[in-house]
């Protein structure tokens, strides 16, 4: 089976990084041994510099406009996809991404109010039909998200948004869940142990379905 691109999505504090390693463990149990992890924004030297501008520099005097933020995120995403993700997939390596394009739709679209048709046109223009094979959405309430962000330390620029902002972001994630069958929802308010069990179950069933489909194609 060729390499697949699996993305973990959700509000900040949902447990995406920890869950990424649980997903990798589930894949290894199913015989996948070539796996890399990526995160957005970032993942290449240029993308990491953009990450610093987008997330870390909250004390800069110049206000970052919502459209500027969106375009910087896509600039970083293009570098990551073209220089890291696509080459890995072409060589049979599986990629587990901490965020991808759905984050821009939810945060810059749902949160900041940028028109969704503009984001879709931008995505189509710079990335074509490239999409993840599977998206695992970790669902938490905005109140839990904000609590976890504060608990883990000083929030970055993007984590200092209001509770209403995160509510709009979550609402968009839940809306997309209804119309995109590549997205699977996991309750991220439960223990990490229970989340890991749910993730393992989803990955195992999905992997077997992909394996069956790959076998059908090879027999044609």
What is the spatial distance between Cα 70 and Cα 112, in angstroms, rounded to a whole number?
Answer: 10
The pair of three-digit structure tokens given for residue 211, joined into one six-digit string: 């394996």
**Domain regions of the chain by residue span:** 5-219
State residue 62's pLDDT score.
80
- Give, for 157, the enclosing helix (H) or strand (E): none
The pair of three-digit structure tokens given for residue 21, joined into one six-digit string: 């390693």
State residue 154's pLDDT score.
73
- Give, for 122, the enclosing helix (H) or strand (E): helix 116-127
State residue 220's pLDDT score.
61
Q: Which of 14, 63, 20, 54 is nearest to 169 (CA)?
A: 14
State residue 71's pLDDT score.
98
Decide if 114 contacts 172 (C-beta within 8 A): no
Residues forming the annotated binding site? Answer: 10-17
Question: What would be the CATH architecture of the domain defined by 5-219?
Answer: 3-Layer(aba) Sandwich (3.40)
Residues forming the annotated binding site for ATP? Answer: 10-17
State residue 153's pLDDT score.
74
State residue 87's pLDDT score.
98
Q: Residues in the chain with pLDDT < 70? A: 57-60, 216-220
Q: Specify the pTM.
A: 0.93
- Find all residues with CB under 8 Å of 43, minimum gap 6, and list them: 76, 79, 80, 84
């Amino acid at each position: 089976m060729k390499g697949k691109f699996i993305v973990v999505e959700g509000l900040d504090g949902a447990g995406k990084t920890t869950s990424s390693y649980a997903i990798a463990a589930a894949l290894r149990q199913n015989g996948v041994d070539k796996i890399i992890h990526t995160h957005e924004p970032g993942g290449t030297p240029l993308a990491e510099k953009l990450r610093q501008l987008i997330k870390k520099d909250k004390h800069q005097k110049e206000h970052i406009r919502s459209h500027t933020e969106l375009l910087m995120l896509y600039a970083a995403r293009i570098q990551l996809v073209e220089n890291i993700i696509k080459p890995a997939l072409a060589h049979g390596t599986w990629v587990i991404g901490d965020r991808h394009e759905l984050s821009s739709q939810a945060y810059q679209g749902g949160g900041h109010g940028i028109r969704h048709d503009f984001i879709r046109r931008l995505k189509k223009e710079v990335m074509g039909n490239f999409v993840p094979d599977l998206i695992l959405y970790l669902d938490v309430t905005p109140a839990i998200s904000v609590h976890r962000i504060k608990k883990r330390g000083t929030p970055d620029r993007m984590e200092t948004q209001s509770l209403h902002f995160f509510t709009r972001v979550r609402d968009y994630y839940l809306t997309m869940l209804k119309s995109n069958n590549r997205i699977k929802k996991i309750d991220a308010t439960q223990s990490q142990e229970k989340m890991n069990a749910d993730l393992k179950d989803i990955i195992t069933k999905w992997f077997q379905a992909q394996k069956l489909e790959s076998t059908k194609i090879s027999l044609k």
